[in-house]
Chain A
């Protein structure tokens, strides 16, 4: 996938593969789960890319690899042009300052024995960013940035509501002034009225600091709301990627189409009458041959069972990996052939 912009992207992931060994019997051959099976994408400065898909598609593993919480089996993860996939722990430290994470469960990801001030202050100390009175004033301003108050400084996580805890998690991530925040389902544990508050907060922070977000999510209505581009994953691969408006207006891959058609609409006059997608996501231990989606795909033909489809550009910046749709791809036909 070509990048036309002059400055290198903030994050560039190339052919990322993550395999986990599966322990079976002693004499059985060693099997692997291909959690991520050749994923490539970029995140530009100030952009929000959403990684969507159903459970087991590998979206969380991609996020964890970028955080280097998981060591990739192969592939490159370039942050500002430097490949961090194979760096040692010590080499990783400056890089960790650039990328921070916000987790799904704001309660499980905050130390219950630390006050809000200590939670936000810890990374400031770890990276030697601020000490003493300076640290305190930074913590106060971070608390205010995320919509909490000075009075929250000495409180413990259990004294906060779910939404406030998520604000605290965001403040902690912001403390080291990162360029990219990886959010693994940061909204899905929140009540809807609070979820909207956090969406707006993330939006403001992006505009204020020029942050990039990699947003791992399953709720497509939320994704449409917050992201500039969307990558749809199925069984360890990206099947479609493009501008949010293009993906939602004209989805190409049959899986993306099915996924969008399955989203319930909050309007009783628009009840879904279409036949839902049959079947379930197969096991990543023995994924189907060819296009992994073919057993559930209404368009599947012989070639889909044999050959893994490659991503093809259907519109400027809108790629999909589907043999059947590629046949009618007029955009590709119009492009000059380049070797």
Chain B
């Protein structure tokens, strides 16, 4: 493949977080089942990386593992490394891990009502990590809490800071959770489906807020979502997951304009696109459904649903290979074609 961009960056931008061959399995009385089978990606400073996939692909377990919060049992990390500024946090003692959660890596969740503590005021929940991690005095921490609420555009922050989660609307709660997550100035913000539970006009507000905050604060964002439209609107790079593995890793433009993996193509063909025309588009969908954890097929897990599957797909797992400097894909059929084309080009 000819690189799509003529100028290659000389050095890679700063990697804040690197996940390397992460393996997670579920251990239950029914047996042991792999959930993540070698998850790898890099998150660079100041970028938004989206991890997309459908239910059961392992995207949420992967995100929780970054904070070592995957529920155990059943989840157990059995291999790989999670490097935060070059340091493997999987080997840290639990005590050091506490210094990282909410401080270096913060997380916001899909449902703010269940993620916030209902018996503590919003302010209390923002102040706590500030006093713990940043050793601020109580008064300074409260001042900062008000400042954070103002930053996320909550009206009347001086009053809201003393309110309880149930007194806020869904959109306001999500803003409060973002304020809480950003209070300590984390290097990485993990956002797990941050707008899925919100109405579309509120979703637009929260996405605009997150984009604005990213510009102003420069926190790297790891966005976990199933919604490709949200990805297109917010991400710089995208990692597509299917049944526990990464199938494609590309810049957002390459992914939407030149998707390579048959699963990614199927996903993109499945989303209804708002248009101002009369015509109804024909949605294609992908036949079949995601295999449940514990019943994944050998070889490429997508092979049973894939129209391009060749023998190799059913036998061994394809590696994530580069098709351009900013685009990787794990597919035997695609690599097969690519190498043939390269051969042809070499012969001509």
Contacts and interface: CB of A to CB of B under 8 A. Distances in A.
A258 B233 contact: no
Contacts, number: 145
A26 interface: no
Contact of B281 (A225, A275, A276): A225
A265 B283 contact: no
Interface stretch (A160-168, A175-183, A325-333): A160-168
Contacts of B232: 264-268, 270-271
Interface in A73-110: none
Contacts of A225: 272, 280-281, 283
Nearest to A243: B278
Contact of B201 (A221, A222, A258, A266): A258
B289 A194 contact: yes
Which of B202, B228, B268 has the most A CB atoms < 10 Å from its CB? Answer: B202
A44 B227 CA distance: 33
A92 to B, nearest CB: 33
Interface residues of A, number: 46
A195 B270 CA distance: 8
Interface stretch (A119-127, A196-204, A307-315): A196-204
B155 to A, nearest CB: 9
Contacts of A193: 54, 266-267, 270, 285-286
A275 B153 CA distance: 14
Interface in B241-294: 252-253, 256, 266-278, 280-287, 289-290, 292
Interface in B199-231: 199-205, 207-208, 226-231
B84 to A, nearest CB: 28
Given A220-B274, A269-B253, A162 B55 contact: yes
Contact of A262 (B54, B203, B271): B203
A263 B256 contact: no
Contacts of A194: 54, 285-286, 289
A226 to B, nearest CB: 8
A14 interface: no
Contacts of B186: none
A148 interface: no
A148 to B, nearest CB: 12
Contacts of B5: none
A208 interface: no
A221 B229 contact: yes
A93 B200 CA distance: 38
Given A263-B229, A264-B230, A248 B276 contact: yes
B54 A196 contact: no
Most buried by B among A193, A245, A258, A272: A193
Chain B CB count within 10 A is highest, among A222, A264, A281, for A264
Given A191-B226, A248-B275, A265-B229, A276 B290 contact: no
User: What is the size category of the interface that chain B forms with chain A?
Assistant: 35 or more
Interface string A47-84: 00000001100000000000000000000000000000
Residue with the highest number of chain B CB atoms closer than 10 Å, among A194, A195, A249, A281: A194
B28 interface: no
B259 to A, nearest CB: 12
Contacts of A263: 200, 229, 274
Contacts of B282: 200
A259 interface: yes
B204 A200 contact: no
B72 interface: no
B114 interface: no
Contacts of B46: none
Given A192-B226, A224-B274, A259 B200 contact: yes
A87 B281 CA distance: 41
Contacts of B123: none
Contacts of A278: 205
A280 interface: yes
Contacts of A129: none
Contacts of A262: 200-201, 203-204
B62 interface: no
Given A191-B55, A192-B267, A218 B274 contact: no
Contact of A264 (B233, B283, B286): B233
A1 interface: no
B201 A54 contact: yes
Given A191-B290, A193-B266, A193-B286, A268 B256 contact: yes
B252 A268 contact: yes
A222 B285 CA distance: 13
B34 interface: no
Nearest to A188: B196
Given A164-B289, A196-B285, A264-B207, A55 B229 contact: no
Contacts of B11: none
Contacts of B208: 272, 275-276
Contacts of A281: 199
Contacts of B112: none
Q: Which interface residue of A163, A220, A267 has the most chain B CB atoms within 10 A? A: A267
Contacts of B205: 276-278
Contact of A191 (B54, B235, B268, B280): B54
A192 B270 contact: yes
A4 B292 CA distance: 52
A285 interface: no
B304 interface: no
Which 3 A/B pairs are nearest by Cβ-Cβ distance?
Answer: A196-B285, A276-B204, A191-B54
8 contacts: A191-B226, A193-B267, A221-B274, A263-B229, A263-B274, A265-B274, A268-B235, A272-B204
